[in-house]
Structure 1
Amino acid sequence: MGASLNEIKQRIVSTKKTSQITRAMQMVSASKLTRSEEHSNHFQIYASKIRELVTHIMASLPDEPDEENNEETIEDETQEINYNSMLIHRPIKRTAYIVVTSDGGLVGGYNSSILKQVMTIIEEDHRSAEEYVMLAIGGTGADFFKARGINVAYELRHLSDQPSFEEVRKIVSLTTTMYQNEVFDELYVCYNHHVNSLTSQFRVERMLPISDINHDEAIVYEQEYIFEPSKEDILKQLLPQYAESLIYGAIVDAKTAEHAAGMTAMKTATDNAKTIIDDLTISYNRARQGAITQEITEIVGGAAALE
């Protein structure tokens, strides 16, 4: 019985130490989540402004040619504008996916939900590896795809807790350039969208070609702007930046969801540790009480034998 008591006591001490670690990690994740939410909110101000500007300029341009004359317009060198490649829907020969995961574990089901959904998409929508291009942000996703023989065209690991645009500039610029060079014909970003500290939603958002510009959202100004250089020249530079802002915004959103998942996972671990400690304490007290009862019984039996 004594050995059993010592074993239970050691398990209680060990579990308390584990709970202290998970509690500390929960607090760290909560702090990261707060900063990441602030970072995301600040970026949304920029994203809304660039969208507003793009929408306004697009709405003020002449109407796009219809589909029947679209091919002739593209072939005409006088009408060939670089920014059109960001807007025109080409026949889909190859699709690119940017999959955003974490670099490590301790984030609950954050990674598994993303990777499971992505594999389902690939299996249902593609018949061969030639039909898609995979780009991975986060070591978990990159290693997952490589282990299954899926070629990863580009991977980015070890992002900071609040990634700056400079950190992701290469992969973001690379994808827009690859699209303009027709390496692939559409781009999707697969990630977990941050809803709140307890909830995230898997999202697959098409970033290219740009199709979410609604002319009805354009703001009508009393006095029209004078554009220098032309609106077309401005859009040549602005549309790639807008596409990059969409991709970067998804990465920031995914990082926020990762911190929330880490905080939730550590809170769950801490709560579980507390439950285990309570159960072990009850078991310890019962074992101790049983040992005391046994000792009393032996003393009473010995005294009765002497009478």
Structure 2
Amino acid sequence: MPSLKDVQLKIQGVKKTKQITKAMGMVATSRLRGAQGAMEGFRPYAEKFSEVLGSLAEKAGDEASPLLIPKEAVKKIHVVLCTSDRGLCGGFNINLTDSVKKFIKSNPDPEVEYSFTCFGKKGRDWCRKNQYAIVEEHLGIVGSRFGFNVASTAGKKFVDGFLSDDYDEVYLVYSEFVSMAKQLPIMQKLLPIPPIEVEAEETTEKTEYLAEHICEPSADELLGELLPRNVYVQIYRGLLETSTSEHAARMSAMDNATKACNDMIDNLTLAYNKARQAAITADLMDIVGGAEALKG
């Protein structure tokens, strides 16, 4: 049985750890509110933008822009990986990197070259560990406040790289915020821009009305401006979703760690009481034994 001093030191250490996890959980909660507000405010814009773009692409046709035309042979794939800069957020980053692993395993062609643009330190470290080519890295963005210029600056490089045949396909990997307890890793194709499908339920009574957008100037000219912006919008949305998911995952992980600390303190307190009772019993036995020896 451990000594009383050892148990006391363990209890003090767990209490200090509990203070740290509780403080980190409170910080993540405060940051989550701002990130979630920005994400929920941008979601309707991104969805409406995709709807308008899908209507224009349907009018103009697939050959209206080179950003809509797939390459004949896909040999260069670029992945935009969005992760966090810090750990202590459960399996948040592991789920994102695992989705990239599954994607690479699903393309067994050895001639395909993969390159990465990393938003976040954890994704960069994973690419270095697996010896993947890193074209560019952005640290200190996810999990903090950032503007649309971050997405537009990065998006321009992806569009230029696709048009100059540096990349045959560009994918975006981010974490979609579903709820406080659920964040889903998403792999979305950015380039070439996939066709935007409008889901329509087959009903015999009534069908949903789809608004027809009046194009001025022509749909082809509008697509030339809107298609690159759609890439920027999707990147910005992915960064907002990842930032919100990171704070939610860290808050949940810190709450679980705090609860685990409470359980450890209870167990150690019980062990301390048992050790103290054993020490008291041993002292009493020594006293009784000494008294009996004196009587004899």
Q: How does the TM-score come out when normalised to structure 2?
A: 0.87
Partner deviation per Cα, 1:65-102 (whole Å, 9 max, x = no partner): 7xxxxxxxx6xxxxxx5xx1121222223221111111
Q: CA deviation at 1:216?
A: 7.2
Q: CA deviation at 1:210?
A: 1.8
CA root-mean-square deviation: 2.4
Instruction: Output the CA distance in 2 between the equivalents of 1:215 and 1:200.
Output: 25
The one-letter code of the counterpart of 1:225 is: I
Counterpart position of 1:110: 92
Aligned ranges 1:103-182 → 2 under 5 Å: 103-128=85-110, 131-159=113-141, 160-182=143-165
Pairing 1:89–2:70 present: yes
Partner deviation per Cα, 1:147-195 (whole Å, 9 max, x = no partner): 3321111111111524321233322221122122222122111222222
The one-letter code of the counterpart of 1:193 is: E
- State the number of aligned residues: 285
Q: CA deviation at 1:215?
A: 6.1
The one-letter code of the counterpart of 2:44 is: I
Q: CA deviation at 1:21?
A: 0.8
Pairing 1:42–2:41 present: yes
Pairing 1:247–2:235 present: yes
Counterpart position of 1:68: none
SS in 1 for 2:136: strand
Instruction: Output the CA distance in 1 between the equivalents of 2:15 and 2:55.
Output: 59
Counterpart position of 1:225: 214
Q: 1:107 to 1:129 in 2, by over 3 A?
A: farther
Instruction: Output the CA distance in 2 between the equivalents of 1:285 and 1:16.
Output: 17
Counterpart position of 1:22: 21
Pairing 1:300–2:288 present: yes
Tell whether the 8 Å contact from 1:135 to 1:153 is kept in structure 2 after alignment: yes
SS in 2 for 1:98: strand
Instruction: Output the CA distance in 1 between the equivalents of 2:292 and 2:90.
Output: 61
Partner deviation per Cα, 1:124-153 (whole Å, 9 max, x = no partner): 415447533222111111122123321111
Instruction: Output the CA distance in 1 between the equivalents of 2:100 and 2:51.
Output: 32
Q: CA deviation at 1:302?
A: 2.1
Instruction: Output the CA distance in 1 between the equivalents of 2:255 and 2:279.
Output: 36
Instruction: Output the CA distance in 2 between the equivalents of 1:16 and 1:132.
Output: 46
Tell whether the 8 Å contact from 1:162 to 1:252 is kept in structure 2 after alignment: no
Tell whether the 8 Å contact from 2:151 to 2:233 is kept in structure 1 after alignment: no
Gaps of 5+ in 2: 201-208
The one-letter code of the counterpart of 1:88 is: I
The one-letter code of the counterpart of 2:134 is: V
Instruction: Output the CA distance in 2 between the equivalents of 1:139 and 1:284.
Output: 42
Counterpart position of 1:198: 181
Counterpart position of 2:245: 257
Instruction: Output the CA distance in 1 between the equivalents of 2:215 and 2:293.
Output: 112
Q: CA deviation at 1:247?
A: 2.0
Instruction: Output the CA distance in 1 between the equivalents of 2:33 and 2:11.
Output: 33
Q: 1:130 to 1:211 in 2, by over 3 A?
A: closer
Q: How does the TM-score come out when normalised to structure 1?
A: 0.84
SS in 2 for 1:269: helix
Q: 1:58 to 1:102 in 2, by over 3 A?
A: same
Instruction: Output the CA distance in 2 between the equivalents of 1:165 and 1:238.
Output: 15
Counterpart position of 1:285: 273
Bigger mean CA deviation after superposition, 124-133 or 37-46: 124-133
Instruction: Output the CA distance in 1 between the equivalents of 2:211 and 2:239.
Output: 32
Instruction: Output the CA distance in 1 between the equivalents of 2:255 and 2:126.
Output: 26
Counterpart position of 2:172: 189
SS in 2 for 1:108: coil
SS in 2 for 1:29: helix
Instruction: Output the CA distance in 2 between the equivalents of 1:34 and 1:168.
Output: 22
